[in-house]
Amino acid sequence: MAAIIAVYPNAHNCVTLRGDMNSTPEDARDHLPAGIVRSISREDLANLPINRYHGAVHLVASQHEVAQALADIRQERVTGFDTETRPAFRKGEFHLPCLVQVATARAVYLFPLRHTEAFPALTELLSEARIAKVGVALADDLRTLKAVFPFHEKNMVDLGKVARSRGLEQTGVRNLAAIFLGFRIPKGARTSNWAAPRLTEAQVAYAATDAWVCRELYLRMETLGLI
């Protein structure tokens, strides 16, 4: 089991949200591959083993780090995609995304959005039709991310919508991981301060896992003929 490697910097139109319910024939929704259930109980979920991402994680801030990340991302046909936002605890409080996570076959890249050097690279990825960006509840992520920097997204695949189109009753990332991958992923750092200038080890592990598991889910769904 490889350790997570968090690399910190020295200083600090063809838009596709694929998986629409209306695009899948009714008979396809009635038949799931063997071993795939429509929902999982809390008890069954709690009995599954915990798993998280154990590969290399790179925090991207400098121009050199952006270039390295982009060189890897450009090799992919599928990337896991997610964002993190500082939690709001008061009525009417609202925050923009603080972090973008991108998972490739070799690493997960964390882009703190206070470093504007990453904006051109993220814009390129989001608008690249050749590379699928896969995640859950992507419409919300994209809407708020556009308030940080402008882009025109292409080839976005919402795995929750794919699951719903196939008749699954639970479409959150943790339930999907349990149903399709057979493990549960921790959620302890979800409401932590993602705007902090230096992320904790727990935050890095949580953020990397969310992007990684989305990529794994896509590949598993693809193998099962669901995508």
CATH number for the domain running over 5-223: 3.30.420.10
Alpha carbons 13 and 20: distance in angstroms, whole number: 18
In contact, 54 and 1? CB cutoff 8 Å: yes
The model's pLDDT over 94-132, given as tens digits with 9 standing for 90+, comes to: 789 999 999 999 999 999 999 999 999 999 999 999 999
Assign 162 a pLDDT band (cuts: 50, 70, 90).
Answer: very high
- The full set of domain ranges for the chain reads 5-223
Structure-block tokens of residue 165: 């189109």
pLDDT above 90 covers a percentage of the chain that reads 74
- Which among 73, 82, 83, 68 is positioned nearest to 128, based on CA atoms? 73
Alpha carbons 65 and 69: distance in angstroms, whole number: 6
The model's pLDDT over 87-101, given as tens digits with 9 standing for 90+, comes to: 766 776 678 999 999
The residues near 129 (Cβ < 8 Å, ≥ 6 apart) are: 14, 154, 155
- Which among 203, 211, 214 is positioned nearest to 177, based on CA atoms? 214
CB atoms within 10 A of CB 150: 9
Assign 18 a pLDDT band (cuts: 50, 70, 90).
Answer: low
Q: Return the CA Rg of the chain.
A: 17
pLDDT at 9 over 50: no
Question: Alpha carbon of 33 to those of 102, 119, 192: distances in Å?
Answer: 29, 40, 37
pLDDT above 70 covers a percentage of the chain that reads 84
The model's pLDDT over 163-183, given as tens digits with 9 standing for 90+, comes to: 999 999 999 999 999 999 999
Of 158 and 91, the one with more pLDDT: 158
**If you count them, how many residues does the chain have?**
227
